[in-house]
Structure 1
Amino acid sequence: MTRHATQPIDGQKPGTSGLRKKTRMFMQPGYLENFVQSIFDGIGGAAGKTFVVGGDGRYFNAEAIQTILKMAAANGAARVIVGQDGLLSTPAASHLIRLNKTDGGIILSASHNPGGPDEDFGVKFNTPNGGPAPEGVTNAIFARTKEIDAYHKLDVADVDLGTLGETSVGDMAVTVVDPVADYEALMASIFDFGAIRAMIAGGFTISFDAMHAVTGPYATKIIEGTLGAPAGSVVNGTPSPDFGGGHPDPNPVWAKTLMDRMMGPNAPDFGAASDGDGDRNMIVGRGCYVSPSDSLAVLAANATHIPAYAKGLAGVARSMPTSAAADRVAEKLGIGIYETPTGWKFFGNLLDAGKVTICGEESAGTGSDHVREKDGLWAVLFWLNLLAARKASVAEVMQDHWATYGRNYYTRLDYEAVPTEAASALMDGVRDRLGALPGQSFAGLTVEKADEFSYHDPVDGSESHGQGLRIWYEGGARAVLRTSGTGTEGATIRCYLEAFDGEVLDDPTKLDAVRAATMELAGFQSHIGRTEPDVTT
């Protein structure tokens, strides 16, 4: 018997990155099954279809994949391609979906969130283009979760996912693949591996912190293996169910050991880190941290050094909270620049339509048209390739970039696990005053204009509203306020601050005024009882 009676479970609404909840919630009887069945039902069924399945190796990953395989077989799927031991980085999964022309894929990850029995888990569906499901699909999945009365699952033994090759579950074929091989081949088709190898052979040193997450095997194979970096260049390279007890978010706070090393007296030439599922990145030079917004702009400005982009870019896209540094590059290159809501799925239409080649978010995600996800290791290899081509250090590249384009000083302040009511009160308090803010002064800065960001998709005409509160101050500074959908409890308030200077390129106080003004304007102290963030990037 494959049919199991069930009933709807509240709260299974997918966000921008699928459904994320505490791991123990997913482990409850029927919880994962209800959501997976709703995915299959929401896309018109699984019969005769082929899917990619994999995850970042976090706690409950292996058990969840076995459940998904048995459910896919019971729902009539023809084939599932799964990474060995259940591992696939998110960009590698996107590539496999596209390479094999499958009907989509199910990716198990909570990205940069901690893992473990008392931490976070996530499930998301990616469509046949390799990208996260758009709102029309997630809405259909959510609608099904509210009316589901049964799920289908075979009662069979678990599949051996440790052995490469073909096996089966019922009548469904299961192909266990090397999670790195096809992805490495794709990277070799984009970058000049020979130039990077020569640079490393000449003494260039690297420290890549895989943060006990999924990119460990990828970085070890490519950076230490193919590119010839010495053993030990990749640290924390073995995936762990709880990410070594750490927080797999590549930023200066959670990758502090790497930051300390890169700012120390015997720093390597180049440092980098990636996150839980491999789609985010952090770039650090010797004594020089590169903000994600600046990294996007630098990649766009240097794209012609990369073989795959040697003919130039069609355009660049960035999320709205990301700094305008990339806009200045696009303007100089004479190519399109697109500002989208936060969430990688909004880049998908632009990439599919050929309007942009490179895109990125301030939250440490950059990517290109090679897949339909952000890609952490791709960004690291891009930086290595441009450094090899320019024969310059990270610090020299950044100084040259700012001298050419000016500097968009930028930071993001994260206030995590804020009680939902308090976060809503803060946001609503600003939202309700947007029309009255222009002309008012706060901590010495006067508001020039304010609005709530809405997006009109130039490809399919869809509209997305309520995408963040924007405040511009006289003199060119900007602040953005939004709540994040990547956490699993309470709310995360994100405050983004930006100020441009075309002449003064190293002023550590540049953002002090816009920060003070925004704290006062939004009432951080009165609403949530603090002005100091949990994380600053």
Structure 2
Amino acid sequence: MSLNVETKQTAPYEGQKPGTSGLRKKVKVFTQPNYTENFVQCILEANGTALVGSTLVIGGDGRYYCKEAAELIVRICAGNRVAKLLVGQNGILSTPAVSSLIRHNKALGGIVLTASHNPGGPENDFGIKFNCENGGPAPDAFTNKIYQLSTTIKAYTLVPSLQFDISKVGVSNYDIGGKPFVVEVIDSVANYVRHMEEIFDFGKLHDFVSGKSSGKPLKMRIDSMNGVTGAYVREIFLNRLGATEASVVHTIPLPDFGGLHPDPNLTYAKNLVETVAKGDYDIGAAFDGDGDRNMIIGRKAFFVTPSDSLAVIAHYLEAIPYFQKNGVQGFARSMPTASAVDLVGKKLGKEVYEVPTGWKYFGNLMDAGRLCLCGEESFGTGSNHIREKDGIWAVLAWISVMQHTGKSIEDILKQHWSVYGRNYFTRYDYEECDLEPCNEMMANMEKTITDAEFVGKSFSSGGKTYKVKEADNFSYTDPVDKSLATKQGLRIVFDDGSRIVMRLSGTGSSGATVRLYIDSYEKQNVLGQASVMLRPLIDIALEISQLPKFTGRNAPTVIT
């Protein structure tokens, strides 16, 4: 029996402009009549004629409204002449898994249902983003097209009578107006696990993790924070690598993440930090809601900054079979990330790129064969095996380095600093601030630092003096397609290489999140406490930006 396509009249909603990685709003916004339908229709139309007869991947992080949205999107795709959908069981797929599926199945792209590290539940956040055929987040030109379409949309199409069971793995075939349409509900984990087995030596890692090779099992505390990674963690670390059940926690995806804030940092992963600090663990790790971010800590909660994590993996790529087979191209980091990887790149004779925040900026470099490893300051690390950051991949990379060196995480870092020096780094997040005064603060600060007399000025605090070498609002010209991204963050660079960076985040769902980044390089004094070493620069940053005055905040929400 042929199912009928129906056209529903609608009208535009204001503000459907994707941010750094998709559209993120409160659940109550997405569940307004036609709100989700409008945005999905615009995503599909932005693909143009390529949409007809295409294959798309659909899945998300399991947060509140994920399953319902996935089922709705299937019906809208059916009405827009998509030929085949690969849908995660119960609507669940990690963001890295979506990227992997797109690439392995040569799909046109994927619709990812996630608000990443933002809280979940009926009163909290939901999000939708589109990943293109390379598996990466849609570039600015594409998201701008989505937004333009959202301002003029008048109708969307769907097949409301389409019936399927998203909870059962299997293939369903339909006739939609005389055209075939296939919905394949897939095991959410299988493809991703196979992919990781191609990248890492699971046999060697199993012997290391289980203790078969040394007689001493690796003691781990892997925290999925009730996000999407739970099933992936259990299959990889327990079933494939031989870890014990006690090694993993919070592995059941919950619509509200069990009340946890699924952001893997020292504040929101406090339970993990305290447990590892008090216990006998070799490695602790946490992931965000959709599985693309990671935090790594060593014994007694020894913290690894995202910039150091990227640099160490870059130094030890020989520990990972994937790079032995495919070679090492270049490295890249987001502009606010401290430049630790730059030093590794220089030593290895590899090009290092500095890009704006947002994983989509790494994609072109990877597709052009110029980049194999990259990371950003917000706990994102990944390689060119996909076009997303990948939390579980990062943990497997660290365990590979531990196995390869026979050293603890702390000893690996100290050895690294003895060779390269140390980039002290911290990030202050001021979440859900009023947007208008924050915009005023940024405009005021930009005017101050771009004044002709600002360069050459000296600032003193805590017995240290810093002289301004350069200051600007960061812009980036893509070396592959020559596209230009402007106003990507205010930065002040001092003579000694120390930096102050400030930007408004594009990943919040309401208000403004102000991010202040401070980093400073030390060649000799590498064993200091970051909060002490960076205190003078932090005070100078607060003075120049007048952040407490504009935000009304005397302290950040989160310190990394």
**TM-score tier (shorter):** over 0.9
Determine which of 464, 469, 472 is the counterpart of 1:451.
472
1:440 matched residue in structure 2: 457
C-alpha spacing 1:437/1:170, structure 2 compared with 1 (3 Å): farther
Q: Which residue, out of 126, 136, 140, partners 2:131? A: 126
Task: Identify which range, 84-93 or 44-53, moves more after superposition.
Answer: 44-53
CA distance in 2 between partners of 1:201 and 1:147 (Å): 58
Give the equivalent residue in structure 2 for 1:16: 20
Is the 2:71–2:166 Cα contact (8 Å) retained in structure 1? no
2:348 aligned residue:
333
Q: CA deviation at 1:26?
A: 0.3
Amino acid in structure 2 at the alignment position of 1:251: N
Q: Equivalents in 1 of 2:548, 2:107: separation in Å?
A: 50
Q: TM-score with structure 2 length normalisation?
A: 0.94
Deviation string 1:159-210 (CA, Å, 9 cap, x unpaired) is 2011111014553210111111110111001111112111122221111000
Moved over 4 A (4+): none
Match of 2:328 among 313, 326, 330: 313
Alignment of 1:422-433 (within 5 A): 422-433=437-448
Offset, 1:158 = 4.3
- Alignment counterpart, residue 107 of structure 1, candidates 112, 127, 132: 112
Asked if structure 2 preserves the Cα contact closer than 8 Å seen for 1:70 and 1:169, the reply is: no
Which SS does the other structure have where 1:147 is aligned? coil
Identity in percent: 48
Aligned equivalent of 2:38: 34
5 Å-filtered alignment, 1:153-168, equals 153-168=158-173
**Bigger shift: residues 148-157 or 110-119:** 148-157
Which residue number corresponds to residue 516 of structure 2?
Answer: 495
Report the secondary structure of 2:429's partner residue: strand
Contact preservation (8 Å) 2:307, 2:377: yes
| Counterpart residue identity of residue 19, structure 2 | G
Partner Cα distance (1:342, 1:259) in 2: 26
- Cα distance in 1 for residues equivalent to 2:337 and 2:68: 37
Q: Contact 1:479–1:496 (CA<8 Å) still a contact in 2?
A: yes
CA offset digits 1:489-529 (Å, max 9, x no partner):
11111000001101111222210111111111111122222
Q: 1:125: Cα distance to partner? A: 0.7
Structure 1 residue 473 and structure 2 residue 490: aligned?
A: no
Greater CA drift, 210-219 or 515-524: 515-524
> What does residue 227 of structure 1 align with?
241
Match of residue 195 from structure 1 = 204
Determine the C-alpha separation between the residues in 2 that align with 1:142 and 1:22. Answer: 18
2:208 paired with 1:185: no
SS at structure 2 position matched to 1:232 = helix
Q: Kindly provide the amino acid, as one letter, of the partner of residue 177 in structure 1.
A: I
Aligned mates of 1:515, 1:495 — CA distance in 2: 9
Q: Which runs of 5+ in 1 are unaligned?
A: none
Check conservation: 1:315, 1:337, Cα contact below 8 A: yes
User: For 2:174 and 2:459, how far apart are their aligned partners in 1?
Assistant: 64
2:10 aligned to 1, 6, 17, which one? 6
Q: Which amino acid is the alignment partner of residue 428 of structure 1? A: A
Find the aligned partners of 2:173 and 2:131 in 1 and give their Cα distance.
23
Instruction: Give how far 1:233 is off.
Output: 1.1
In the other structure, the counterpart of 1:53 is 58
Report the equivalent of 1:357: 372
Q: Distance in 1 between matches of 2:53 and 2:521?
A: 54
Q: Aligned to 2:103, what secondary structure does the other structure show?
A: helix
Residue 183 (structure 2) aligns with = 174
CA deviations 1:418-470 (Å, max 9, x no partner) are 11111112111110122332233334433232111110100001111100111
- Secondary structure of 1:263's counterpart equals helix
1:277 maps to which residue? 290
Deviation at 1:64, TM superposition (A): 0.3
Task: Provide the residue aligned with 2:538 in structure 1.
Answer: 515
Q: Report the count of equivalent residues.
A: 536
SS in 2 for 1:179: coil
CA shift at 1:295, angstroms?
0.2
Deviations 1:322-349 (A, max 9, x none): 0000000000000000000000000000
Describe the shift of the 1:170–1:110 C-alpha distance in structure 2 as closer, same or farther (beyond 3 A): farther
Please tell me the residue identity of whatever aligns with 2:339: A
Q: CA RMSD in A?
A: 1.2
Partner SS, residue 498 of structure 1: strand
Q: Which residue of 2 aligns with 1:407?
A: 422
Question: 1:169, 1:380 → 2: CA distance?
Answer: 41
2:459 partner letter: F
CA distance in 2 between partners of 1:13 and 1:158 (Å):
31
Which residue of structure 2 aligns with residue 530 of structure 1?
Answer: 553
Q: Secondary structure at the match of 1:346?
A: helix
> Within 2, Cα distance between the matches of 1:310 and 1:145?
46
Secondary structure, in 3 states, of the residue corresponding to 2:128? Answer: strand
Amino acid of the residue matched to residue 188 of structure 1?
Answer: E
Contact 1:73 1:169 in 2 (8 A): no
Of residues 432-441 and 266-275 in structure 1, the stretch that sits farther from structure 2 once superposed is 432-441
Asked if 2 retains the 8 angstrom alpha-carbon contact of 1:467 and 1:482, the reply is yes
Aligned 8 A contact 1:159 1:169 in 2: no
